[in-house]
Chains A and B, each alone.
Chain A
Amino acid sequence: MDRIKGFNPFTSIGSSALTVFIAAVVLFLINRAIFETTVLVQTLAKALGLGAVYAIVALGFVLIFKATQVVNFAQGGLAMVGALFLSFLAVDEHIPFTTIQNPLIGIGPSWFGWGLSVLVALVFAALLGLVIERIVIRPMIGQPLFSVAIITLGMEAFLRTFANDSVRVQLRPLGIPWGTGGFTLGGTVGDNGITTGGAFVAWSYVAAVITAAVAFVAVFLFYRSRMGVAMRAVAFDQEAAMANGINVGLVFAIAWAAGAVLATIGGIYATQPPIAQTGAVQIETQFIAFRTLPAVILGGLDSVQGALVGGLIIGLAEISAGQYLSQFSGQLGAGYPLIVPYVVMIIGLLVRPYGIFGTPEVRRV
């Protein structure tokens, strides 16, 4: 793979600078762990929550890319439409048949009913993914990668129009049973029974981490199954897989359905802390996909473990930058944490042009 290259000063400078930078960050975190443990715990919990959401959405990108060689820029639109399905089912149509006394937020939808409507919404999302794959992506097999990627951008514009239109006037709540609440770790209990000074952990962080764990374990198990092996074969070489009797169309369909489901889950978590505080679908919900792209690229476009690692790294970078650089927010500009993922991505790509776990493209003359 080594070949004569034009002079590129960024290669060596990039990797040595990165080593120094990572060392500095680690030393800083150790310093914080000793002097401000509570803040660090809270930051790490938040980072884990955000990282888990990124990892879920990144997994959707990676599944679709591995099977069909398409970067699906429409994931954001899918996330929003999927979350709107849930809002429609759970809130507008009252699919949760009863409201009960919920231990976390008082009176709210029952866990069972809400879970049911999530399942139905995910099925709808999967169907949407199947339809898109069949109508838009299937005719493009064999076309240049770039054309297919741009087609998904067109799809995004289409989905986004309808999604934006339905939330422009009022936000669409999702009726999430755990709400935006959370619990406090550590801290001191005062005389009136109120805890002060602990590290706040939102329920959504816990839920996101559990969901991510389930999703990744499911995908790893799936890759061991017969269909999963077929999918890996298709990812390796479409024509060879087809010649061996693998139903490539079915593989495409499964990947897109799974991608849409993961996007929807991402869209649901995008209404929750730490990404948003409203618990309702709003226009910003769709940006979860573009915020996740750095995680996908950093981990490597075609690597499942890359999605996990990339998501966690990007989540950590974004949250800790927001926490520890806030004193410089004047110079860095308001909302600078949202830019941190892209900066991390660019630095990471300088060192590893195919991401951490990505497979380098074999180039032949």
Chain B
Amino acid sequence: MLTKRIIPCLDVDHGRVVKGKKFQDIQDVADPVELGRYYSDQGADELVFYDITASYEDRDIFIHIVEKVAEAIRIPFTIGGGISKVEDFRKVLMAGADKVSVNSSAVKNPQLIREAALRFGAQCVVLSIDAKRNNKGSWDVYVKGGRENTGIDAIEWAKQGQDLGAGEICINSIDTDGVKKGYDLELNQKLSSLLTIPIIASGGAGKMEDFAEVLKVGADAALAASVFHYKEIPIVDLKNYLHNQQIPVRRV
């Protein structure tokens, strides 16, 4: 039976892993290769490495990290941050990444999704969406690290992303991110029922119940950062808990 995935996300700045609470208060945590290997041993199903400096700084350090990670770990991993051209996809895929996540650049140029999917396969194109609730009962797409509202409807954008060839949607709720009060269940439920590609829920994990809830409403995977980085929730314990909740998971 296909299992639900647990995905630690590692924000990387100058080759070091950090975690921003609400995208601020960034604090150095660990070496990406070591932390990646640690999570893999603990039973993480995939990893996401997000280059938070990529939009405006040299990417060579990061490409080197991608190569080192690919040599060290044997689970799939996704690279995000600063990907704006098909050539950027090629670089990180050739460095050993399995998937590439695009966010603001795809909003700016939706054809990037189609071009990358045609060239490298839909399986490696993850459309990451930063969504925030508005006062009309829907969600707006934000870009530039959650600073700018595009006014685009998040659910419509997710559907368009699927039509353009994305293999997966990562939905990050800005309202719940860093607050640790649970994922946005309504948003994840809506997307899961409307889309035919897998959904990764992101933003808001604080306790083990939060993971169970979002996976039960239809998310195929749950992504989190700080609860793992600060060892508040060991992945082994989380997998056992989810298993006891009748949620199919892979346990190591």
Are A and B part of the same complex? no
Residues of A at under 8 Å CB distance from B? none
